[in-house]
Homo-oligomer: A and B are copies of this chain.
Amino acid sequence: MSGYDIKKAIEQSTSNFWSESYGQIYPILQELVRQGLARRRAAPAGARERQLYSITGKGRRELRRWLAQPTVPGGVRNESLLKLFFGRESGAATHRREAERLRRDAVTAAAHLGELRALLEANASEPDAPYWLITLRFGELQSRAQLQWLDEALALFDELDKGERQRTTRRTRRRS
């Protein structure tokens, strides 16, 4: 594939657990060629400049070696949750709006997973299919958990907002 194709393929099939930028892809492809892990050839026909890369035997051995290594869990970071942790500094209404936005995004993401499932099930005979499906399944379960949490969070913010409004109203009434 070309660097461009790789980016598109990642976005299409693994977007729920992996992403890469061009700034990573192009230099890395060159490095892989330099190390003899990939080879590069110019696209045969066509007018546009296209550099097609393919894996070498050495590259595949290195891939297998890497795949066999257990993953060391890296640090987690969820900025939305960190902001919520200090949530009392803002108002509940602000959190509600933000949660609504996140919910819309989550619904869009869930729809994308649905499309991907249809696509994978149409190609169920593909020998890689079971592995692709189990990574997709992770996305589905995570997506479901995310949506449930957002609903609970929305309910909480409504509750908190009501409390805040009451306090404000009472204070106003007392003042007037």
Contacts and interface: CB of A to CB of B under 8 A. Distances in A.
Interface in A53-69: 60, 63-64, 66-68
Interface residues of A, number: 59
A118 interface: no
B135 A85 contact: yes
A89 interface: yes
Interface in A94-128: 94, 98, 101, 105, 127-128
Contacts of A94: 68
A144 interface: yes
Interface in A64-93: 64, 66-68, 70-71, 73-90
Contacts of A60: 89
A17 B81 contact: yes
A76 B17 contact: yes
Contact of A64 (B14, B90, B138, B153): B90
Interface in A1-57: 13-21
Contact of A76 (B18, B68, B149): B18
A76 B16 contact: yes
Interface of A: 13-21, 60, 63-64, 66-68, 70-71, 73-90, 94, 98, 101, 105, 127-128, 130-132, 134-135, 137-138, 141-142, 144-146, 148-149, 152-153, 156, 160
Given A14-B81, A14-B82, A81-B138, 5 more contacts: A15-B76, A17-B82, A67-B83, A74-B79, A84-B134
17 contacts: A14-B85, A18-B77, A18-B78, A19-B75, A70-B101, A71-B98, A81-B138, A84-B134, A84-B135, A87-B130, A87-B134, A88-B128, A137-B152, A138-B149, A142-B145, A142-B149, A145-B145
